[in-house]
Amino acid sequence: MERGTINVQTENIFPIIKRYLYSDQEIFLRELVSNAMDATQKLKTLARLGKVQGDLGDLMIEVKLDEENKTLTISDKGLGMTKEEVHKYINQIAFSSAQEFLEKYKDADTVIGHFGLGFYSAFMVADKVEIHTQSYQEGATAVHWSCDGSTEYVITDGEARDRGTDIILHVGEDGKDYLNNAKIEELLKKYCRFLPVDIKFGTQEQNIPKGDDSEEVETFTVDNIINNTQPAWKRSPSELKDEDYISFYRELYPYAEPPLFWIHLNVDFPFNLTGILYFPKMDNSLEIRKDRIHLYCNQVFVTDHVEAIVPDFLTLLHGVIDSPDIPLNVSRSALQSDPEVKKINKHITKKVADKLNGMFKNDREGFEKKWSDISILIKYGILSDDKFYERAEKFCLLENTKGKFFTIQELQEATKALQTDKNGTLVQLYTNDEKAQHSYIEASTAKGYEVLKLNTLIDAHFINHLESKLQQVQFKRVDANTADKLIEKEDALTSVLTEEQETKVKDLFTNTIDNKSVGVTLEAMSPEDKPIMITKPEFLRRMKDMAALSGQNMGYMQGMSDMYNVTVNSNHPIISKVLEEGDEAKQKDLTKQLYDLALLQQNMLSGEDLTNFINRSVNLIG
Ligand code: ADP
Ligand code: MG
């Protein structure tokens, strides 16, 4: 028997380990199972190199919970340790790395993942830890190590045993939550479900029919294996079918709808990264979703908070990223400025853009069908990443009200002839509510204009962005002006009214409307156009949309948004009719009626005004 003192400055490190990030206590199990897996993988490597002879046998890792004796055991059949190795790796290295880790991160408040605490994280839940180990090396004897949470350990020769290591945790008061089968199984499923070595936790009953058509079943007791050792992202894309990708998706997110498509990532230079990114259905909303990308490190689950690792707009994707090259012991802000992470970021962005571009080029029709589900991600990417914009410009689509899709370039070509105004600005028209803006859309399409459907949440930002990127392009909602004035041309029509008559019409409407902030203008339009229209200036409206989107409560904007213009078509026959009306009361009624019709068209007539309108209509008909 040999006694020793773990060489540390701190009088007792274990209380510190226990206090350290209490909320992350559960990672002890991940650390111990990963050590068992490392030991198993190392043994396989040695066998491949011819340094271990003979059959390795079954290499299953087993986790056993003994609630009565309050122990949790992690057993592997890996390479084991000699006495010297226990000294070196447990007493010296493991301990000093645990100490170093604590010193380094005691002030960091956001540490993602805690690789590095390693073996000693066992003391977060255990009062005493034992190691029984037998090295694969010839002539090595079994070793027993134990430590009760003070700085003293005991090493003795162990009982003869098979190759491998058992780590026994004597769970104390701090870890009593873990003396529970369901809890351990949950943690194993969370952190270890895709580890490359079988992990057994207890047994399971399995019913197997006795014969082909027999109703009788035979019950077998089988090992309860926690993990899938061959997760799809670790396999070669060439051996995977669509069904495999979809069933792996279901394994990750059992309750989600099937994905639209996916990208299999496989990089080994200049960094190591594998994974599968899935495009989920997004139906145009940026709602906070609960399904996220999972980050793994060599098949061990680390976190599903990948905000710092993938670009913001790609956090909308689902799936798995696995990389040993992401520094996990640093704070989120340090992670964002880490050069390695930046490279990974760039690579993923490029892969996503390439995939989308490939789909667009190879199957445009299919791409258009998916557009409504993927547009939000693409627009978000365009807004947040210039490099992505450069790539996405080629496949970002705009849809018109008739369901036809244009790329940005195609749209410019298609609208150049009719929609260039007298200053050479190309005016693009859009609607964000086809029903409400129906008559405005009709008026514009009748002139041969394209009206785009831009009705998602981020479209206000998106069109602002396009205006800043494209030369001389301006977006206007169809109701920003009358169809004639949306795109101002030289060749305006002339009014059939005299100046005096126009003043009279203007006064009539101004007095009827009785709202100081509403301006009335007369415009010479075609007699076929509407007699009177309400328009909302593009600039103010969009400012308000953007403010609302960014969650700003701009009080003064509220008032502005109610601003609108009333445009009277001086060439419409009904306007002449109103002018000629001799009965002053009737003239007022007609004016009011026309104004209300215009309000109705914008869905702005309600309450008492609507009731009055209906009563007046009945009177006019009668
Ligand atoms: P790390 O895994 O990062 O090296 P740990 O503190 O988790 O740090 O483990 C320290 C060392 O102890 C390991 O590198 C390994 O040499 C040894 N070790 C731990 N667990 C086992 C095990 N189950 N079998 C063999 N060696 C082990
Ligand atoms: Mg470890």
Q: Which tokens belong to 173? A: 């008061």
Going across the sheet that includes 261-267, the strands are 261-267, 273-279, 318-322, 293-297, 300-303
Q: What is the CATH number of the domain that holds 85?
A: 3.30.565.10
Closest CA to 377 of 442, 494, 438, 289: 289
Mean pLDDT of the chain: 88
- Three-state secondary structure along 214-234? CCCEEEEEEEEECCCCCCHHH
As beta bridge partners, residue 319 has 277, 293
Q: Are residues 239 and 335 in the same domain?
A: yes
Q: How far is CA 373 from CA 260, 378, 556, in A?
A: 8, 10, 35
| Residue 246, domain member (yes or no) | yes
Mean pLDDT over 464-484 rounds to: 91
For ligand 1, atom 8, name the residue with the nearest CA: 118
- Find the length of the chain: 622
Confidence at residue 177, expressed as pLDDT on a 0 to 100 scale: 95
Q: Are residues 576 and 441 in the same domain?
A: no
Name the pLDDT band for 549 (thresholds 50, 70, 90): low
- Judge whether 225 lies within some domain: no
452 or 436: which leads in pLDDT: 452
How many A from CA of 181 to the centre of ligand 2?
23
Reported confidence tier of residue 289, pLDDT bands at 50, 70, 90: low
Task: Select from 59, 75, 119 the residue to mutate for testing ligand 1; criterion: most ligand atoms less than 8 Å from CB.
Answer: 119
Q: Rounded mean pLDDT of 302-313?
A: 86
Does position 112 have pLDDT exceeding 50, yes or no? Answer: no
Alpha helices in 363-426 (DSSP H): 364-384, 386-392, 408-419
Quote the ligand 1 centre to 94 CA distance (angstroms): 7
Across residues 273-294, what is the average pLDDT? 79
pLDDT digit string, tens, across residues 38-95: 999 999 999 999 999 889 999 999 999 999 999 999 999 999 999 999 998 888 877 7
Within 49-77, where are the H helices? Answer: none
On the question of pLDDT at 492 being above 80, the answer is no
Cβ pair 114, 8 in contact under 8 A: no
DSSP secondary structure string for all residues of 119-145: GGGGGGTEEEEEEEEE-SSTT---EEE
For residues 195-219, give the mean pLDDT: 88
User: Are both 196 and 65 inside the same structural domain?
Assistant: yes
**What's 251's domain CATH number?**
3.30.230.80
Q: Residue 4: is its pLDDT beyond 80? A: no
Please check whether residues 579 and 607 belong to one and the same domain: yes
Residue 80 Cα, ligand 1 centroid: separation in angstroms?
A: 10
How high is the pLDDT of residue 352? Answer: 95
- Give the CB-side neighbour count of residue 378, counting CA atoms within 13 A: 23
Contact 528, 574 (CB under 8 A): no
Residues lining ligand 1, judged by CB closer than 6 Å? 31, 35-36, 38-39, 76, 78, 81, 89-90, 93-94, 118-119, 165
Can you tell me the distance from the alpha carbon of 17 to that of 102, in angstroms, rounded to the nearest whole number?
A: 8
The pLDDT of residue 562? 66
Which of 6, 13, 35, 297 has most ligand 1 atoms within 8 Å of CB, for mutation? 35
Instruction: Looking at the structure, tell me whether residues 17 and 97 fall in a common domain.
Output: yes
> Domain holding 579: CATH number?
1.20.120.790
Question: Is residue 379 assigned to a domain?
Answer: no
Q: Which of 38, 99, 102, 132 to mutate to test the pocket of ligand 1 (most atoms within 8 A of CB)?
A: 38
The answer to whether 576 touches 544, Cβ cutoff 8 Å, is no
Asked whether residue 611 is domain-assigned, the answer is: yes
Shared domain for 79 and 55, answered yes or no, is: yes
End position of a domain, from candidates 350, 365, 380: 365
Counted domains in the chain:
4
On the 0-12 / 13-18 / 19+ scale of CB atoms within 10 A, 230 is exposed
The CATH number that applies at residue 417 is: 3.40.50.11260
The ligand placed nearest to the CA atom of residue 34 is 2
485 and 541 in a single domain? The answer is no
Q: Which of 238, 239, 263 is nearest to 249 (CA)?
A: 263
Instruction: Please indicate, yes or no, if residue 298 is contained in any of the structural domains.
Output: yes
**Under 8 Å between Cβ of 345 and 311:** yes
CB-based contacts of 552, cutoff 8 Å, min separation 6: none
pLDDT, one tens digit per residue, over 511-540 is 988 777 788 999 998 888 889 999 988 887
Q: Report the atom number in ligand 1 closest to the C-alpha of 36.
A: 23
Q: Which domain holds residue 263?
A: 232-365
* Contact (CB, 8 A) for 78 and 59: yes
Single residue among 163, 187, 202 that ends a domain in this structure: 202
pLDDT of 151 over the 70 cut:
yes
Q: In the β-sheet with 217-225, what is the strand arrangement from edge to edge? A: 2-5, 152-157, 143-147, 126-134, 164-171, 71-76, 61-66, 199-209, 217-225
Residue 165 sits in the same domain as residue 281? no
CA of 74 to the centre of ligand 1 (A): 13
- Position 15 scores a pLDDT of 65
Classify residue 33: in a domain, yes or no: yes
Last residue of a domain, one of 342, 365, 388: 365
Greater model confidence, 468 or 117: 468
pLDDT confidence bin for 110, thresholds 50/70/90:
very low
Whether 614 and 503 map to the same domain: the answer is yes
**Per-residue model confidence (pLDDT) at position 2:** 76
Q: Which residue has the higher pLDDT, 554 or 417?
A: 417
Q: Are residues 341 and 400 in the same domain?
A: no
- Cα separation, 21 vs 586, in Å, equals 80
Determine the Cα–Cα distance for residues 539 and 577; give it in Å rounded to an integer: 35
Do 526 and 417 have their domain in common? no
- 543 is a domain residue: yes
Are 512 and 467 part of one and the same domain?
no
pLDDT of residue 621: 85
